[in-house]
Amino acid sequence: MAILPDAVLMPLRREGLDPVPELGRKRVEEPVSKLPVPFGLNLWLVSGHEEAKTVLGDVKSFSNDFGNLVGKTGAAADDNPGGLGFADPPVHTRLRKLLTPEFTMRRLGRLKPGIEAIVNERLDAMAKIDGPVDLVEEFALPIPSLVICELLGVPYEERDAFQHLAVARFDLFGGADASLGAISESLDYLLGVVRKQRENPGDGLLGMIIKEHGDQVDDRELAGLADGVLTGGFETTASMLALGALVLLQDHESFVNVRDDDDSVGPFVEELLRYLTVVQVAFPRFAREDVTVAGKTIKQGDMVVVSLSGANRDDSLGADIETFDGSRTPTSHVAFGYGAHRCIGAELARMELRAAYPALVRRFPEMRLNVSPDELTFRKVSIVYGVENLPVTLS
């Protein structure tokens, strides 16, 4: 990590649940700013809300194609992880159309009973544990693991493999090589899953795409799609479940509201998504042409990183936006991104969060932290923010 200047790592650092103060100052003073970076790249940080939407929503001026790094960092052409996050139209449009039918509200509605059953099974298992319970291990990780296994058609017995890889790929504290290695290993694993599904398509998302559109997508593209669903639907939701539980444990009013009032759950979840913004930065963009944003000229080929966590603390979103308010009227946050690359699984994530939080506090109304908050360990430098463990006493 020593090769990356502190200014580059700044949007990936936090103090507890909050972005570091430097990010807030940068957003106010210079919402589009140039950062020092090695490899001969020109790197820009976008931290303002409107500026973030401008960049994320402009596929004409900004590209997601990882191939823009080839020749600048020593990356090879086949290092592109693939999938929606690194694709531009028309490839992105074609691939996203394959997934869209599986993420309509009607299709997702069929998953709701299964999600609720998974949550209740985990709570039953937690109730049988003597002594303190780690909510990360027993609650936050297993729920999205089971949901994603069911969605993709991946055997649940293989969850440990992808759980480890999903966490490792976003953790930059161990170095970029380790992160890239985890991405490569994840794609290799999913290529194997795709090939098995080609031979015997199941009823999960992969099997359905193969049955209906198998001739329109090759194995690597399909593995890239599965990788996006896996990482976007597992690690992010797991982090939200754990950090959201921590917020509930520290905010008695929200705890009571979520426990006793069904109507409060939706606004609570939206405020959590904004306040926590566990995906701290969006996929990098590359300027296709010279473009001016907030008075700054970004040159063709320059790399742009959008700080989602910074944008979601912008004063334009409301009063006291740096604080958590579980009853806040939902804002136009960018926790799921914005524009053509907005997270396709956003409604699935919401469904899991809305099912899990009220079930947790209703089952264990006397739950409390088993350690002082300052004893908790948070990820140091990670694209997806999270807490390493969350020990609680259930009753």
- For residue 59, the SS3 value is coil
pLDDT (tens digit per residue) in 74-101:
444 344 445 788 899 999 999 999 999 8
pLDDT (tens digit per residue) in 312-367:
999 999 999 999 999 998 889 999 999 999 999 999 999 999 999 999 999 999 99
| Per-position b or e across 27-50, b if 16+ CB within 10 A of its CB | beeebbbebebeeeeebbbbbbbe
Dihedral of CA atoms 198, 201, 202, 203 in degrees, nearest 10, equals 110
What pLDDT does residue 311 have? 98
Q: ∠127-130-136 over CA atoms, to 5°?
A: 65
Q: Do residues 85 and 170 lie in contact, with contact meaning Cβ atoms separated by under 8 Å? A: no
pLDDT band with cut points at 50, 70 and 90 for residue 168 = low
Q: Do residues 55 and 293 lie in contact, with contact meaning Cβ atoms separated by under 8 Å? A: yes
CA dist., res. 191 & res. 222, Å (int): 8
- For residue 68, the SS3 value is helix
What pLDDT does residue 81 have? 47
Residue 160: pLDDT over 80: no
R_g of the chain, CA atoms, integer Å: 21
What pLDDT does residue 179 have? 59
CA dist., res. 260 & res. 257, Å (int): 5
Residue 160 CB coordination number (10 Å): 11
Q: Which residue type sits at 130?
A: D
Q: Which domains does the chain have, with CATH numbers?
A: 6-388 (1.10.630.10)
Segment 232-254 shows an average pLDDT of 96
Residue 182: pLDDT over 80: no
pLDDT band with cut points at 50, 70 and 90 for residue 232 = confident
| Per-position b or e across 169-187, b if 16+ CB within 10 A of its CB | bbbbeeeeeebeebbebbb
pLDDT band with cut points at 50, 70 and 90 for residue 167 = low
What pLDDT does residue 71 have? 46
- Out of 60-69, 168-177, 259-268, least confident range: 168-177
Residue 386: pLDDT over 60: yes
pLDDT (tens digit per residue) in 369-379:
999 999 999 99
Query: Closest Cα partner for 352 from 244, 206, 280, 214?
Result: 244
Token pair for residue 67?
A: 């191939």
What pLDDT does residue 6 have? 80
What pLDDT does residue 184 have? 75
CA dist., res. 66 & res. 78, Å (int): 10
Query: Closest Cα partner for 10 from 329, 266, 281?
Result: 281
What pLDDT does residue 34 have? 95
> Average per-residue pLDDT in the chain?
89
Q: Which residue type sits at 353?
A: L
What pLDDT does residue 180 have? 62
Q: How many percent of the chain have pLDDT more than 70?
A: 88
Greater confidence, 106 or 305? 305
Query: Closest Cα partner for 289 from 302, 280, 272?
Result: 302
Segment 9-29 shows an average pLDDT of 95
Residue ranges with strand state E in 94-215 = 133-134
pLDDT (tens digit per residue) in 253-308:
999 999 999 999 999 999 999 999 999 999 999 999 999 999 999 999 999 999 99
Complete DSSP assignment for 141-204: THHHHHHHHHHHT--GGGHHHHHHHHHHHHB-TT-HHHHHHHHHHHHHHHHHHHHHHHHS--SS
Q: How many percent of the chain have pLDDT more than 90?
A: 67
Greater confidence, 368 or 220? 368
